Amino acid sequence: MTILAVRKELLKVCSIAAFTAIAAGTLGTGQAQALVLTFDDLPAPKFDYGSAIPNGYGGLNWDNFNYKTAQTSNPSGYIYGTVSSPNVGYNVYGNPATVSTVNIGGGQFDFNSADLTAAWNNGLDILVEGFSGGITKYATTVTVDTTSPTLFNFDFLDIDSLKFTSFGGVNVGYGGSGTQIVLDNFTYERVPEPTTILSLLTVASFGVALSRKQKQQQKVTSKV
């Protein structure tokens, strides 16, 4: 194989790789694979009431969210709301709780869905808000009971913070009280940074330019 032929093959491979990269980037921006956080891969909680969900879990920051082994509160919405065993998340003391990318590298994410249950009160209302740069983009109120989880599809796009505020409902007499939320199968996607997409476009353009230059050189050579 001549040097010219080798260069031609290398340029062809470069072009194919570039177009493959940009295609993958395009699919990634619109069809990124969702991550499902079940809290089951966290260490065993230190106490019956659980442990704090550590910042960085799932690449997110967790404020006022604990996780616990559901069987330690039976009967309750904790055990009836378990989708994936053994752990579930909940808002400590029933107070507002947030999930965000703040202090975890920044960036935005899409909040797709979650399974929600009430720990102690039937007819518990949960206000779920999505923010970007401190501005409210989404606000949805859902109502849950203690007997089984409900899957809610939120589809909050391009947010950097998510807030859960629970209130109301009627205590069902399980032996506990409060407006705690039972959270399981938290599903979300990280939004690719614009610089990543730009890099893919640059690689693709470079491959196309090299291919065109090679074709021009071949035309000149054939005429000599």
In this predicted structure, the answer to whether residue 199 has a pLDDT above a threshold of 70 is no
Amino acid 56: pLDDT: 96
Report residue 213's pLDDT band, with 50, 70 and 90 as the boundaries: low
Amino acid 72: pLDDT: 87
Report residue 216's pLDDT band, with 50, 70 and 90 as the boundaries: low
Structural Rg of the chain based on CA atoms:
25
How many percent of the chain have pLDDT more than 90?
A: 67
Amino acid 194: pLDDT: 63
Amino acid 192: pLDDT: 85
Judge contact between 14 and 207, C-beta under 8 A: yes
Higher pLDDT, 21 or 75: 75
CB neighbourhood size of 140 (10 A): 13
Distance CA 220, CA 100 (A): 58
The pLDDT mean for the chain works out to 83
Tens of pLDDT along 14-52?
A: 444 444 444 444 444 445 679 999 999 999 999 999 999
Amino acid 206: pLDDT: 44
How many percent of the chain have pLDDT more than 70?
A: 72
Amino acid 217: pLDDT: 56
Distance CA 38, CA 42 (A): 9
Geometric angle at alpha carbon 157, from 155 and 163, rounded to 5°: 80
